[in-house]
Amino acid sequence: MTLRPNALIVSSLLVAVALSSCTTAKGGGGLFSRKPSASAAFITALQGGIAGRSGVQLSDSDKQRALEAEYRALEGAAVGQPVVWSGRDVSGKVVAAAPYQVGSQNCRQYTHTLTADSKDTIARGAACRNSDGSWSPLG
């Protein structure tokens, strides 16, 4: 069977449309989905984190790396275990303290050391875990 050029184009478009509606096993939407991942919502809840209030100028991608490190440290790092990240001209290390209770919420104090231009800037803060798994900064 030979396909005419128009039929070939239509067939190719139908395959592309079918593939674009596929979803991943993790429920992340289709190939061209604009829906953010669940972890993106959790990171957004940190409201810029303590790295964002450190005074160190960060690119958008470095801000994202810093916030992801803060979230990972708060969510699951052992007490005192550093969660490290590095960007283009800056790097960081987040260390969370022991969890404590405020009402019914689990909270943690943490330190974020940012290194830029061979200079360390230390930011300190605390956050509490919400029922949806996100963390909200205190103060």
Residue 81 belongs to domain spanning: 36-137
Number of structural domains in the chain: 1
User: What is the residue-wise DSSP string for 17-33?
Assistant: HHHHT---TT----TT-
In a domain, 10, yes or no: no
In a domain, 8, yes or no: no
Phi, psi of 108 (to 5 degrees): -145, 140
In a domain, 79, yes or no: yes
Query: How many of the other CB atoms lie within 10 Å of CB of 86?
Result: 13
Distance between CA 49 and CA 134 in Å, rounded? 12
pLDDT one-digit tens code per residue, 51-104: 777 778 888 888 889 999 999 999 999 999 999 999 988 999 999 999 999 888
pTM for this model (two decimals) = 0.68
In a domain, 30, yes or no: no
